[in-house]
Amino acid sequence: MNVFLLGLKVTDTAQESEGIINVLAEALPTSDRKTPTKVQLLQQKDHYVGKALQKLEKDQSILAVGLVKPTPEGMLKMNTMMVVNKDSFDDVLAIN
């Protein structure tokens, strides 16, 4: 697994299964010609990042940091360690 920092657009609201929050998103493409990579953001429901994932809305742009593992289907599964949106940007500035 590798740690990635990804700019994403949320494509579906959060779903919960067995205490795990799951949010589907697409990587923001660098140009109009590129096909966006699908990303599945995962975290425990009670984790502070899991609570942040539950608040994400469809079509919202975010920045996500986490351990990423590719799937055979071409999707990236991210064990999310941090999620930043325009309302929580100050949280990033506080990280040393």
Residue range 12-57, pLDDT digits in tens: 999 999 999 999 999 987 677 678 899 999 999 999 999 999 999 9
* pLDDT band, very low/low/confident/very high, at 88 (cuts 50, 70, 90): confident
Residue 76 has pLDDT above 70, yes or no: yes
Average pLDDT, the chain: 88
Phi and psi dihedrals of 43, rounded to 5? -170, 155
What pLDDT is recorded for position 86? 81
Tokens representing residue 11 in the block: 């494509």
pTM given for the model: 0.86
